[in-house]
Amino acid sequence: MTANEICHALTYSDRSPFFIRSHYVVREVEWGLGFHHRLDLLSIAMDTKIGTEIEIKISKGDLKRDLEKEHGHYDSRIRQLYFAGPIELQEAFFEFAPAEAGIITVFYDSKRRWYPYQCTIRRRPKPRKSYRPFTDEEIFKLLRLGNMRYWSQFSKQFRRKSGD
């Protein structure tokens, strides 16, 4: 299972925990908003402006390497942290993910025609007591950066197809 498939399961169905019609969601947030670490997926609830970081893991080794990171996934604008990945990693998530982090597993259901990638929240995160909502200015900047990233990726795909 790829990171793209995991992100799709987390955001694209109305059953998804970070449905794109009720959350601002941007992948690979690294620069432009003052974060001291790269966020695989950042979700901001449209109604409360509360931020959630989702750390995407596709292998047990990837999960173990996360333990070596010094930043601890902390930022004053992030209220909660989830680790998400294939259902095959469920045991490893409970063994290696931080105790305060939520756990989401993703699986492929071939019987579902429209949204075959499904996710299940296995453990809810412990919300951080010290956080602040995102400001409107920060949300606008995040969406602008996400838009730039989208068109940059689109352009790369187009250049590959055209041979440039």
Q: What is the pLDDT of residues 111-139, one digit of tens each?
A: 877 788 889 999 999 999 989 999 999 99
Mean pLDDT of the chain: 86
Distance CA 71, CA 67 (A): 10
* pTM, rounded to two decimals: 0.86
**Cβ burial 58-96 (10 Å sphere, 16+ → b, else e):** bebeebeebeeeeeebebebbbbbbbbbbbebbebbeeb
Place of tokens 């604008």: 77
Tens-binned pLDDT, residue by residue, of the chain (164 aa): 898 899 989 998 777 889 988 999 988 787 777 777 888 989 999 999 999 999 999 999 888 887 777 666 777 888 999 999 999 999 999 999 999 999 999 998 888 777 888 899 999 999 999 899 999 999 999 898 888 877 777 777 766 666 65
DSSP state, residue 114: S
Q: Is 41 exposed, middle or buried (0-12, 13-18, 19+ CB in 10 A)?
A: buried
